[in-house]
Amino acid sequence: MFDRSQLEDAANLVHRHMAPTPQYAWPQLAARLGCEVVVKHENHTPTGAFKVRGALTFIDWLTRTHPDCPGIVTATRGNHGQGQAMAAKAAGLRALVYVPKGNSVEKNAAMRAFGAELVEFGEDFDTAKEEAVRVGGELGLQIVPPFHPELVRGVATYAYELFTARPDLETVYVPIGCGSGICGTIIARDALGLSTEIVGVVSENAQTAKLSAESGQLIETETARTFADGMAVRVPVQAALDIYGPGAARIITVSDDEIAQAIRTYFIDIHNLAEGAGAAPLAGLMQERDRMQGRKVGVILCGGNIDTDWFVKVMQGQTPVP
């Protein structure tokens, strides 16, 4: 989809707005899991999540190709919306953002702080997305889908940073929602000519990506109820499936209990905050620890934006119920 020079250009653009995030090999995690564990810290971006990278490249593309566009409209569970609002506001554009009812209170507050006009609609992400598309068409706003080439090119820069710094990684675990993260990781690996195994991780309660990859066709699920809201997707994206279907070594499921344990592990071992989707890759590695013994493994901590009440419950040994 993109070659090395195109990813270098994207990285240069992203780095004008934010520093590269670190990738640390934490000895505490190595001692716990029996393998070298390199954490890519996307919880250290200006919005606390990887999505801002795609927002920066998308808004740059939009202002160059549609200079008269008055603004954007999009749907999100929070991290995508924060990034789009931040980048749109910096470009002088309106940012209309739809979220489902009952969405994260703290993510909603963050989106408003970054400049979003926030609208709560529907019972889940996919319903909010349908309304965003309808309203955007009426208002003449640019619709920002969850998956778009310019979004993916920006998102791929975290994997480009990781693989440039650590080309020796044998396996990398990546969470899957709509798919921009894992697709960006696969694209960066291929652009750099590496053979790293990419393992996708989904919630056992939101398996649309896994079911679709295994069947070779889009399979929607009736619900996607998980406190890992970044993975709470029930309608897959064909363009993403076309990349992660053949590009991922496998896609595994983790339970909400396993995700909660991974959040606790991150905080206890390395004192970093992870939201549900951000902890899912570590949960996947913990599940496959026997398989990974003695290997060099990367995990994408894609975001740290977990609401305080959920984090308190997790640290008390509980698993939040969405």
Q: What is the pLDDT of residues 262-289, one digit of tens each?
A: 999 999 999 999 999 999 999 999 999 9
Above 90 in pLDDT, residue 317?
A: yes
Give me the mean pLDDT over the 188-212 stretch.
Answer: 97
Domains of the chain, first to last: 4-50+149-315 (3.40.50.1100), 52-144 (3.40.50.1100)
Longest dimension (CA), the chain: 56
pLDDT at residue 154 above 90? yes
* Per-residue model confidence as pLDDT tens digits over 296-308: 999 999 999 999 9
Reported as a single tens digit per residue, the pLDDT across 5-49 is: 999 999 999 999 999 999 999 999 999 999 999 999 999 999 999
Indicate the pTM of the whole model: 0.95
Task: Answer yes or no: is pLDDT of 118 > 90.
Answer: yes
Neighbouring C-alpha atoms within 13 Å toward the C-beta of 184 = 34
Q: Do the Cβ atoms of 47 and 18 come closer than 8 Å?
A: no
**Pairing mode, strands 23-25 and 36-41:** antiparallel
Provide the CB-side half-sphere exposure for 302 (13 A, CA): 37
Is 287 within 8 Å of 257 (Cβ atoms)? no
Buried b or exposed e, range 281-291, using 16+ CB within 10 angstroms: bbbbbbbbeee
What would the mean pLDDT of 221-236 be, rounded to a whole number?
92
Residue 320 pLDDT > 90, yes or no?
A: yes
Does the structure show a pLDDT above 90 at 126?
A: no
